[in-house]
Amino acid sequence: MTEQRRIYTLPNNLMPEVKAVTFAKCSRSPEPFDKIVAELTEEKSAEFHEKWVVGFGHSSIAEHAVISLAIENVSNIATKVIEDSRLASFTEKSSRYQIFNKDKLYMPEVIMNSDLKEVYLDAVNSLMSAYEEMTQPMMDFVKQKYPKPADQDEKLYNMVSKARACDNLRYLLPTATLTNLGMTINTRELENLIKKLLSHPLKEMQDIGKEMKENAMAAVPTLIKFAWKNNYITETKKQLKNIADWELGQEAGNNQAVTIVDYDKDAENKLVASILYPYSNLSYEEIAKKVRNLPEGKKEKIIDETLKRREKFDAPLRELEHVYYTFDILLDYGAFRDVQRHRMCTQSNQPITVVHGYDLPPEIREAGFEDKFKAVVEKSVEAYNKIYKMFPEDVQYVVPMCFRKRVLITWNLRELHHFISLRSGKKGHASYRRIAQQCWREMNKIQPLLAKYIRVDMDEMSISWAASLENKDFYYNPYAARDKQS
């Protein structure tokens, strides 16, 4: 007799470690899951993990132990370090829909205990004071500039107006601003995250790592108990920093927003061969050879057949992942916070700094706040220069989100479809919309056949906003100005 199919959830009250053992035993036990779990205790589960996960390194078992952590009052820098974990889910307090509090700022211990305390406090408090003072006037300005459509609900209009005001105001927020995020993560990834935090040069990260471990141990006492500071991470990064300083110097480099620095030169042939591969018995090399001999029109038709039936929420086939593009991106920190969330790609981040200059949102000038904006931002530059000499890591907290930073990202073609279509959309912030649009333009220059299937929103308002930022009247580099004077 054929066994009846069964699909069911495990009891909600099970400890994560018990759930992990329940699924792990499937590989050796013929018993159904509900019988396995009925025979397990927390003690038996701990013994199992001690032997098989800790003792024999079968870490994949730990992926079945999933916990959710609420993380509150951490700096905006910390959220980016935490969210660099690929295999986890995050939801973060939005700088577009919430007003941040002047009293909620991270105070780096080493700076607070030094002669530079007042320099730091003056800089971050000035930024937050300007942010608070400009909040209501910016609300009034955007409502005047964008009157309520007759058919729009008043509540929705107020929410949209608040977002428009915050889109401009968030450029003043220092990275020291405290925020909240929720995280759901499996224990294997959590162990890696804790190691990374404990090995980070910033004390805030180390403290978060310790607290994260202490709180998670209540739910998964066995699986993360050996998450410690990692000597390989700390020493390797320290030496690479020394080498980079010696060999590369401290120059800021060019101010190109988006540059493709590497990509699959044979992407079209590679994509077509990958698309056809699952439907053939030939080796990839044999398929690739046949594909190279196909007329260009046939290759285009195969790509078209692969992508033309996609509806709004359909992801492209996975075969697009075999093609890659590496972008060097220079963007304001506020935009980086959103771009960084696409963490399935490969990212290499440079530090937060003031050497690349800052963006002044055009609407800040329109509303009459340019002088106030520039005054407090320039004060943060002065503070940065003073603090950097003694505390080159902790100085990052004084930098407001208007300053630009670099990130190197390698996306596969499938990820690019997702990133460009999502981040170029009308509901997004103009600063990251321009990055998504420019990524598409750069790709279109080199491979228009593949770029044409990526859904990109080239809305005129976003392009106009982006053009304003590229204009020198809205981009300021205090370092360049100082060099010119000297």
pLDDT number for residue 16: 87
Q: How many CB atoms lie within 10 A of CB 12?
A: 5
> d(Cα 14, Cα 321) in Å, to the nearest integer?
37
pLDDT number for residue 6: 86
Give the pair of three-digit tokens for residue 351.
Answer: 């530090």
pLDDT number for residue 482: 45
pLDDT number for residue 61: 73
CA 185, 188, 193, 198 torsion-angle sign: positive
253: left (phi over 0), alpha (psi -120 to 50) or beta: left
Q: What angle do CA 201, 202, 205 make, to 5 degrees?
A: 110
Residues 6+ apart with CB under 8 A from 168: 138, 361, 363, 364, 367
Q: How many CB atoms lie within 10 A of CB 211?
A: 15
Residue with tokens 């982006």: 466
For the chain, give every residue range classified as CATH 3.30.1360.170. 258-350+405-485
Q: Are strands 258-263 and 475-476 parallel, antiparallel or unpaired?
A: unpaired
3-state helix, strand, coil in the chain (%, to 5): 55, 15, 30
pLDDT mean for each 10 residues of the chain (486 residues): 82 84 78 84 66 59 87 96 93 91 95 98 97 96 94 91 93 97 94 96 97 92 87 95 90 89 96 98 98 97 96 94 97 94 93 94 94 96 96 97 96 96 90 93 96 90 59 66 40
Give the pair of three-digit tokens for residue 395.
Answer: 């100085």
Q: How far apart are the first and last CA of the chain?
A: 89
Residue with tokens 């990692």: 230
For 483, counting Cβ atoms within 10 Å of its Cβ (0-12 exposed, 13-18 middle, 19+ buried), the class is exposed
DSSP 8-class letter at 400: B
Residue with tokens 């003690």: 43
User: Is-contact 430 462, C-beta < 8 A?
Assistant: yes
User: Which CA distances in Å does 290 have to 286, 299, 458?
Assistant: 7, 11, 37
pLDDT number for residue 46: 65
Q: How many CB atoms lie within 10 A of CB 20?
A: 28
User: Is-contact 452 485, C-beta < 8 A?
Assistant: no
Residues 6+ apart with CB under 8 A from 212: 69, 71, 190, 193, 194, 197
What are the phi and psi torsion angles at 481 (to 5°)?
Answer: -65, -40
Query: Looking at the DSSP assignment, which residues form a beta bridge with residue 400?
Result: 174
What are the phi and psi torsion angles at 208 (to 5°)?
Answer: -65, -40
Yes or no: domain 258-350+405-485 corresponds to CATH 3.30.1360.170: yes
Give the pair of three-digit tokens for residue 224.
Answer: 């993360």
pLDDT number for residue 464: 58
What are the phi and psi torsion angles at 65 (to 5°)?
Answer: -90, 105
> d(Cα 340, Cα 349) in Å, to the nearest integer?
9
| Longest alpha-carbon distance in the chain | 89
Q: Show the beta-strand stretches assigned E in 253-368.
A: 258-263, 324-332, 346-349, 358-359
Nearest CA among 268, 331, 335, 277 for reference residue 304: 268
pLDDT number for residue 17: 83
> d(Cα 294, Cα 288) in Å, to the nearest integer?
10
pLDDT number for residue 486: 34
pLDDT number for residue 274: 98
User: Is-contact 24 64, C-beta < 8 A?
Assistant: yes
User: Is-contact 389 343, C-beta < 8 A?
Assistant: no
User: Is-contact 209 217, C-beta < 8 A?
Assistant: no
